[in-house]
Chains A and B, each alone.
Chain A
Amino acid sequence: MGTDRSEETAAGPMHALERVEPFLLIAVGGFVGAALRHAVAVALPAGTLPWGTLAANVLGSFALGVLLYEAHLAGVLSAETRLVIGTGFLSSFTTYSTFAVETAGLAPELAVANVVVNYVFGFTAILGGRWVARVIA
């Protein structure tokens, strides 16, 4: 009985830690992702188009392409790694709301150009990421 109780107390905090861990991983990824996006926006100030958001969206889509196709093709990375990188970091690094607000603030022809470059390069980046995942898998 004494042994049972010590196992229970050992199991208690372990369970709590396992439940908290995904949130901690996502929190860390969210911090780094958002902070890095801000750094990219500062380094690449908006000119004719908002280049910083475009760079973050394209780079982040490429990395998500690598990450998710790697999961299908090789599965070397653990589910936890994919959670912190995908849900935490990359989803926070890339942004739809900033893209939408910036697009809404542009002159009509530039707004169309901004949508086209984000969509075309973003979708192409996903495919490029898959190609890289295939090569390394």
Chain B
Amino acid sequence: MVSPTLLVGAGGVLGALSRHLLGERIDARTRDTLAVNVVGSFLLGALVTAPIGDSALLVFGTGFCGAFTTFSTFAFETVRLAETGEPRRAAINAAVNLVGALGAVGLGWLVVDGLA
């Protein structure tokens, strides 16, 4: 088997490049961060439910989805909103990412269950 580090790293390359190519930028529009986090959570929810092998899960789950979505950018943007006199938008951003991502995970599970 190929080393897990190599598999996760290869997925990470694809995840980071995809996020960049889709126009997500640190300290820019919070809705872009929300979009990658929700889409990536949907994919990971589907992947952990799908009958794929351990290697594929390391590449596409831990590597790709893990790198495509981001917590640090989300945290930075939320703190910045709170500090620039928009605490309400900061709270909404924190809540919408959470509800959106958890809902997307559930949807990913359901889609794969429905297909199986």
A91 lies within 8 A of B19 (CB): yes
B102 lies within 8 A of A104 (CB): yes
A31 lies within 8 A of B12 (CB): yes
Instruction: Say whether chain A's binding surface is mostly helix, strand, loop, or mixed.
Output: helix
A101 lies within 8 A of B26 (CB): no
Bound-state Cα–Cα, A35 to B13, Å: 10
20 contacts across the A-B interface (CB closer than 8 A)? A26-B20, A27-B13, A27-B17, A30-B67, A33-B12, A33-B67, A34-B66, A38-B63, A57-B72, A61-B71, A64-B26, A87-B25, A95-B70, A97-B43, A98-B66, A100-B44, A100-B101, A101-B41, A126-B76, A126-B79
A95 lies within 8 A of B69 (CB): yes
> Mask for A79-112, Cβ within 8 A of B = 1, else 0?
0000000111011111111111101100000000
Residues 58-116 of B at the A interface (beta carbon under 8 Å): 58, 62-63, 65-76, 78-79, 94, 97-98, 101-102, 104-106
B26 lies within 8 A of A122 (CB): no
B76 lies within 8 A of A96 (CB): no
A96 lies within 8 A of B69 (CB): yes
CB contacts (< 8 Å) of B43 on chain A: these are: 97
- Chain A to chain B: the 5 pairs with minimum beta-carbon distance, closest first: A34-B12, A30-B16, A92-B67, A100-B101, A94-B71
Listed in ascending order, the chain A residues whose CB lies under 8 Å from chain B are 22-23, 26-27, 29-35, 37-39, 41, 56-57, 60-61, 63-65, 68, 86-88, 90-101, 103-104, 115, 118-119, 122-123, 125-127
B71 lies within 8 A of A60 (CB): yes
Q: Determine the residue in chain A with the shortest Cβ distance to B82.
A: A123
Q: Determine the residue in chain A with the shortest Cβ distance to B20.
A: A26
Bound-state Cα–Cα, A86 to B20, Å: 11
CB contacts (< 8 Å) of A104 on chain B: these are: 45, 102, 105-106
